[in-house]
């Protein structure tokens, strides 16, 4: 095939794939009828987060409760309910409460998902109850920002930070909380997830060292974070430095493992840069492995590996510079594969140059050099397969009556009238 025909074929193939993926996206199909998330939340009867199952979309030749053109039933696996939980529990469209059938306009059937392109996606679905069917009003792709906008529109405050994990290893829990800012809110006020699900046998955390000699310039000037008693506040001149062979106390003179996972709980203020962790050879000054805060406006991390045969720099998108606590897990395996998780979700897998990873046995471990921020956890385990176990992405909703601050209870407690005004725009909801 001549080059021009080959190029044309490649462009046509790429265009076909993009069109097919576009046609599988319910939000794109429904785009001309979209309104803001806030307006949809306030006007709908039911709002829920659901997983779309494209292969199970069913055409209806006649839908007596919809318009004359009929419609298409889209099946969703229910993940979470924002509004109308009582309606969903009383009126199920299937025998399973976890499955919700929603009628969409007929025209999406004409752009149905081609075979092999039907990848499930999560949406926030806003419905009206028409007769005994749920009829879509609007929908949006689910993400953390849209999720928060829905809850704010329903009168909730923003979530607090996730708490510290209840244990340092062997499965604990963390929670976060929020308050109702109107007379009554639908939903829950506590979320809980599992954390530190790896075993304790070989896990080490240099931040828990008791020997003062490893803390520089001296441990006496190190400060704890007031609301996180296990966390340290680091300034650019405070750092930990110890021979890596002294890290694993149960195995004397054990060198730092060639394969490992590490779990970091960190809070970065502003656009700081500096070294979070570094392994540096005593005998070879050009050989080191370090994880660094990249600085700038991105809040990214950098993994830098330098050796005699060159330097690899992996940039890890993380958005850590928002002043909030974040959890980052990173592993190195098979001599060159780097897996990264950010805030309990897989972020990326990168490949170093094959057979270049070099961690000399005489390496020193340095933590926090020229870094300004808060560190609560820096746990290292010699098994890279455990990288996904820092925290679970599955969250359990809890309604805690002992942690319920509504407008009424706040007014009773402080003895003053409180006015909360929620007003919406096309872009966001504001609470005053």
Q: What is the pLDDT of residue 416?
A: 45
Q: Among 180-184, 212-216, 242-246, whose mean pLDDT is lowest?
A: 242-246
Residue boundaries of the structural domains of the chain = 3-146, 197-389
Torsions phi, psi of 269, nearest 5?
A: -100, 125
pLDDT confidence bin for 108, thresholds 50/70/90: low
CA distance 360 to 176: 41
Which pLDDT score is estimated for 57? 58
> Structure pTM?
0.80
Is the domain spanning 197-389 CATH 1.20.1080.10? The answer is no
Phi-psi region of 15 (alpha: psi -120 to 50; beta: other; left: phi over 0): alpha
What pLDDT score does 325 carry? Answer: 97
Q: Please state the rounded mean pLDDT for residues 146-164.
A: 96
The rounded mean pLDDT for the chain is 82
pLDDT-based confidence at residue 171 (cuts at 50, 70, 90): very high
- Model pLDDT, residue 204: 94
pLDDT at 114 over 90: no
**Would you call 326 exposed, middle or buried from its count of C-beta atoms within 10 A (0-12, 13-18, 19+)?**
buried
Provide the terminal-to-terminal Cα distance of the chain, rounded to the nearest Å: 66
Reading the block at residue 310, the tokens are 């060159």
Of the pLDDT bands very low, low, confident and very high (cuts 50, 70, 90), residue 411 is: very low
**CA atoms of 216 and 241, how far apart (whole Å):** 7
pLDDT at 95: 44
**Residue 153: how many other CB atoms lie within 10 Å:** 23
CATH 2.40.50.120 fits 3-146, yes or no: yes
Range 69-75 average pLDDT: 74
pLDDT band (50, 70, 90) for residue 143: very high
Look up tokens 């021979």; give the residue.
243
208 vs 214: CA distance, rounded Å: 11
Determine the pLDDT at residue 67. 47
pLDDT exceeds cutoff 50 at 71: yes
6, pLDDT greater than 70: no
**Mean pLDDT computed over 390-405:** 86
CA–CA dist 109, 211 (Å, integer): 68
Residue 227 tokens read as 């609301």
Judge whether 383 and 310 are in contact, CB under 8 Å.
Answer: no
pLDDT higher than 60, residue 419: no
For the stretch 354-379, pLDDT in tens is 666 778 888 999 999 899 999 999 99
Q: Using 50, 70 and 90 to split pLDDT, how confident is the model at 15?
A: very low
Residue-wise pLDDT for 251-306, tens only, equals 777 889 999 999 999 999 877 889 999 999 888 888 899 999 998 888 999 999 98
Q: Which residue has the higher pLDDT, 177 or 2?
A: 177
* Bridge partner residues of 339 (DSSP): 331, 349
Instruction: Kindly report which listed range (49-53, 175-179, 311-315, 327-331) carries the lowest average pLDDT score.
Output: 49-53
Name the band, by pLDDT with cuts 50, 70 and 90, for residue 428: very low
Which two structure tokens, joined as six digits, stand for 192?
A: 């809980």
């Amino acid at each position: 095939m001549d080059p021009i025909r080959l190029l044309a074929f490649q462009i046509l193939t790429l265009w076909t794939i993009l069109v097919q993926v576009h046609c599988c996206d319910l939000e794109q199909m429904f785009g001309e009828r979209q309104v803001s998330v806030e307006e949809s939340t306030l006007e709908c009867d039911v709002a829920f987060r659901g997983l779309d199952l494209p292969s199970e979309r069913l055409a209806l030749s006649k839908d007596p409760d919809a318009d004359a053109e009929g419609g298409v039933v889209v099946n969703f696996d229910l993940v979470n309910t924002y509004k109308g939980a009582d309606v969903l529990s009383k009126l199920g469209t299937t025998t399973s409460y976890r499955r919700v059938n929603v009628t969409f306009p007929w025209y999406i059937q004409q752009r149905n998902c081609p075979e092999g392109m039907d990848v499930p996606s999560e949406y926030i679905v806003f419905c009206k109850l028409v007769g005994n069917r749920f009829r879509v009003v609007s929908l949006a792709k689910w993400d953390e920002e849209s999720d928060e906008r829905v809850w704010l529109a329903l009168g909730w405050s923003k979530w607090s930070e996730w708490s510290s994990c209840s244990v340092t290893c062997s499965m604990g829990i963390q929670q976060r909380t929020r308050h109702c800012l109107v007379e009554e809110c639908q939903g829950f006020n506590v979320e809980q997830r599992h954390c530190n699900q790896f075993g304790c046998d070989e896990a080490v955390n240099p931040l828990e060292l008791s020997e003062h000699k490893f803390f520089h310039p001296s441990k006496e000037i190190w400060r704890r974070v007031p609301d996180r008693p296990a966390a340290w506040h680091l300034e650019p001149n405070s750092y930990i430095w110890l021979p890596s062979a002294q890290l694993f106390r149960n195995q004397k003179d054990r060198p730092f493992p060639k394969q490992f996972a590490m779990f970091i709980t960190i809070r970065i203020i502003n656009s700081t840069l500096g070294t979070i962790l570094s392994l540096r050879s005593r005998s070879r000054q050009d050989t080191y492995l370090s994880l660094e805060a990249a600085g700038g406006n991105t809040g990214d991390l950098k993994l830098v590996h330098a050796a005699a045969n060159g330097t690899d720099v992996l940039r890890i998108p993380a958005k850590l510079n928002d002043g909030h606590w974040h959890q980052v897990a990173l592993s190195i395996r098979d001599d060159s594969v780097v897996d990264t998780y950010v805030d309990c979700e897989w972020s990326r897998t990168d490949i170093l140059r094959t057979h270049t990873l070099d961690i000399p046995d005489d390496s020193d471990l340095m933590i926090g050099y020229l870094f300004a921020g808060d560190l609560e956890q820096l746990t290292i385990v010699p098994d890279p397969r455990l990288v996904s176990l820092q925290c679970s992405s599955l969250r359990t909703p809890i309604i805690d009556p002992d942690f319920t601050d509504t407008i009424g209870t706040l007014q009773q407690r402080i003895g003053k009238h409180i006015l909360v005004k929620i007003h919406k725009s096309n872009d966001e909801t504001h609470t005053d």
